[in-house]
Amino acid sequence: MRERKYDDAILALRAYITSCSTHVSIGDAQYWIGEGLFSQSKFSEAVPQFETFLSAYPKSDFTSRAIYKIGRCFQEMDKKSEAKKRFQEVIDKFPATLEAKQSKERLKELK
């Protein structure tokens, strides 16, 4: 990911998830697949990846980020209503986070 070789990184993360399915860092790997897709502007592919992550790891340290990124994906896909819901969810559930601050700014843009 750091080298911006997103497709290679996503393949490696998927292989890791398959081969090490019980490892404690599997949730992080699933989150980063979504980030890789987002970084490539593959927003419609990133949303289900982040949703899968949230379903499986709702208490992860990456939860607020994943919800925020879903909002960003919807914003980029011009699905304003869905984006607003996700940004508001971040603000409501994670008010003290950077993502909440960013969500407030995004909501201003969507009015």
HSE toward the beta carbon, residue 85, CA cutoff 13 A: 6
Per-residue pLDDT, 94: 98
Q: Comparing 19 with 53, which gets the higher pLDDT?
A: 53
pLDDT of residue 42: 97
Residue 23 has pLDDT above 80, yes or no: no
Average pLDDT over residues 65-85: 98
State yes or no: pLDDT of 24 exceeds 80.
no
> Is the pLDDT confidence value at 22 over 80?
no
In this structure, the number of other CB atoms found within 10 A of the CB of residue 28 comes to 15
DSSP classification of residue 111:
-
Asked whether the beta carbons of 55 and 78 are under 8 A apart, the reply is: no
